[in-house]
Amino acid sequence: MMELEVPCKQKDKDKEEQEAPFSLSKVTPGSRKAERKWHSRARSIPKAVIVRRSLLSDAVRILEHVNFQYGIGDAYLDDVFGRKVDVESGNRQLVSYLRNEGLEGSIQVKWSDTLSCTACMATSGGPRKLNKPHRRKYTLFLNSTRENMYLRAHGLTALANHEIGTHYYRARNDGFQVWYPCRAKFDMSRSRCYEMLLSEEGLATLNTYLSLNCKLLWKPALTYSHMAQRMDTDELYSHIQCCVLDPDIRRKIVLRAKRSHGLKSSEGTDYFGCGWDQCYFIGAVNILRQLDNIDFTLMHSGKLSVEDCERVGRLAKTTVLKLPQFICTEENARLYCCTLAEIKAANFL
């Protein structure tokens, strides 16, 4: 899920956060309040947008190939994401990931059984116009229920590459860039517009699959294709059974797919719903089809859309950047691009 930012009042002195960097217990009342605030912010994004169908054949082809290769999506999950693990085991994976990235103490990690999404990277700090990067604090909320398909032996690393490797690093680096206080001044995409969401979640989706042994974009293709189905809730729940049997995963997909679903334009030609969830697949495909024209180090240097890289790339500060391990050196960046090319080929793009 895209990183959310919550401004807080500026104080003369920063109060040091007393909480431990990892919490295995349920979210505390105080953090529960912050969680609701962050998610109310997420819900403020307009939900009724056009549901796209132009990539439906691409998504269906991926789903059919997974069924041909694995029999059903459940077998794909077991093979690619590994066996299911408990929260304690998953937390140890995250501790190791943050240690390897040199981020110990930089991100608060909290598990919750009330999240409507799989995970959410949240940010708090001073007003944007003051541009005080050192005041920003980051919290990663994670779903601790069985609906979290990434709570598996190999899944947490993939999820960490999505939430931390993409959303955290882009948000952190963005605070040091000249455009951070006023994006409009540089004719850049608004931080919460549809075009930015395509680039943000498309890049995060691709980073999710860097560490997995199968590069088929099964989950984003599944979400995209079933959002495009004009079925009621019960019909869609039964229809998804051809791709995955796990009732928790099916229920979550249906609930997210049916938000604001069914609205039609006055002409009756366009179909509206919460098409934002299709951005994962659309954004990933858009990036894969432009691999040779994108500077991926620059994409991780701030909250930039693919189009923004062409507009302000020359202005980006590089001396203060902190990059994820998978792209932090010239050799890693080369291997990163090779892996993306592998993902492109695996998904018939």
| Active site members | 163
Chain mean position to CA 294 = 19
Radius of gyration of the chain (CA): 20
Q: What whole-number distance in Å separates Cα of residue 325 and Cα of residue 333?
A: 9
E strand or H helix at 12, and its extent? none
Return d(Cα 133, Cα 130) in angstroms, integer. 9
**CA dihedral sign, ordered 198, 201, 207, 213:** negative
For 299, the token pair is: 């994409």
Nearest to 216 by CA among 69, 52, 51, 56: 69
Q: Which residues contact 35 (CB under 8 A, 6 or more apart)?
A: 27, 112, 114, 115, 122, 141
102, 107, 112, 116 alpha-carbon torsion, rounded to 10°: -100
CA distance linking residue 31 with residue 122, whole number of Å: 12
Pairing of strands 119-125, 137-143: antiparallel
Kindly tell me the burial class for residue 244, based on how many C-beta atoms sit within 10 Å of its own C-beta (0-12, 13-18, 19 or more): buried
Q: Closest Cα to residue 156, out of 106, 203, 108, 111?
A: 111
